Homo-oligomer: A and B are copies of this chain.
Amino acid sequence: MERIYADYLIETPYKVEKAAAVLAGEQSSGTFVAVPGETEELKKRFAARVENIELLELKDEPSIPGGSIPGKKYQQAHVRVSWSIENFGYNLPILISTLQGNLYEITQFTGLKLMNFDVPDSFANHFAGPRFGIKGSKASTQVEGRPMIGTILKPSVGMTPEETAAIVKVLVEAGIDFIKDDELMGSTANSLFDNRLKSIMKVIRDHQQKTSKKVMYACNISDEIDEMQRKYELIEQEEGSCAMISINSVGFSAAKKICDNGNLVIHGHRNGWGMLNRHPLLGIEFPAYQKIWRLAGIDQLHVNGIQNKFWESDDSVVKSIQSCLKPFVAGHELLPVVSSGQWGGQAFETYRRTQTTDLLYMAGGGILAHPMGAEAGVNAIQQAWKGAVDGLSLERTAQLYPEFAASVKKFSK
């Protein structure tokens, strides 16, 4: 029978074998005394199984509170656990409850992080995965041999639809591939969703008529289900190609429902991610997280960026990008959305470490605040990527291209 495998980083003051057995028990039977009806045969068929244990460091202090024992040391370990697919079939919320669920509350652990999981190939028959992903996103915007270049409409709240559309006009004429709403932007008092969408899509359609290039607009439809569906259909009517959802805020089942419509590229914003990941011994790592959202059908997912303005290390960002690019059971590969304090200068390190241009490279202030104007801002980022792919240094690239040189002067710290 096919099995699901999950890899955890754990920490425990107990023997790791014993703590791992508690983990497996909690996620199959989970009560504090034996009850009638739980036969050995049933246990064998449905119980979680500890597949492997690899001991890591021994710590003097517990990583998270609630399970410490005076005088004890805390053993960190990688633990691999498996379940028969008979336990949940292809029900993802139940799988999520099994992979995560109560585990984080178990006293025997002073640290627990879901690092990764594997599902059988048969999942491909039940989940379409990303309908567009890298391939569809780049084809839709006619981008080849370089990352898609995108920007975020700012300020996130306050501007009228007309003011926003005027900025969009500047951006599309500057040659941008992609624009998106801020995650805080839904429908505000002076910028109702429908009005903003219509104003922006008119600019995009006009530009497409002139140039044949259709800029992708990730319009933030995050909301309750029926309202998201209504907004999705309005985007279709307006000939838009993309919708954005804050995946943690709307949740798995709603995101899946939206993706299942299948006509728009779905841009997944991971805001709230920090609470699931910032502590090294609590929560979930990105390689596991992105698989859940690929099964939902998300096409593009935020991965932060090299030298970002947030807390995350470059190593972690690189690992996230790599996990999106790997094939997974169903659909296209996931397009990594590189953002947070990006302006072009990070293209060199990003390319050096990932060797890919299959990215959506988001620059916020880096474009509209470019001293030579927005078109120069877009060009500067394209130049940076050309330099990076050609194997040039940042300095050499700046010597070749005045727009990028101006970016370096303004944005490098």
Contacts and interface: CB of A to CB of B under 8 A. Distances in A.
Given A42-B159, A87-B188, A257-B225, A364 B105 contact: no
A249 interface: yes
Interface stretch (A11-19, A30-38, A129-137, A382-390): A30-38
A95 to B, nearest CB: 8
A31 to B, nearest CB: 4
A337 interface: no
Contacts of A84: 189
Interface string A301-316: 0001000011111000
Given A97-B271, A254-B253, A368-B36, A278 B105 contact: yes
A255 interface: yes
Interface string A213-225: 0000000101111
A37 B155 contact: yes
Contact of A188 (B89, B189, B274, B311): B89
Interface in A256-307: 256-257, 269, 271-276, 278-280, 282-284, 304
A162 to B, nearest CB: 11
Given A225-B225, A282-B275, A163 B37 contact: yes
A346 interface: no
Max chain B Cβ within 10 angstroms of own Cβ: one of A42, A157, A256, A272: A157
Interface string A181-211: 0111111111000000000000000000000
A313 B105 CA distance: 11
B279 A184 contact: no
A92 B228 CA distance: 12
Interface residues of A, number: 103
A185 to B, nearest CB: 8
B246 A97 contact: yes
A104 interface: yes
B311 A156 contact: no
Contacts of A223: 91, 93-94, 253
Nearest to A109: B311
B257 A42 contact: no
A310 B106 contact: yes
Interface in A367-390: 368-369
Contacts of A42: 155, 158-159
Given A65-B278, A98-B184, 16 more contacts: A29-B154, A35-B155, A35-B365, A42-B155, A46-B157, A66-B278, A87-B184, A87-B188, A89-B188, A91-B222, A91-B224, A93-B222, A94-B186, A97-B184, A250-B251, A276-B276
13 contacts: A35-B369, A38-B155, A86-B190, A88-B184, A94-B186, A97-B246, A101-B183, A104-B278, A105-B310, A224-B256, A251-B251, A254-B257, A275-B282
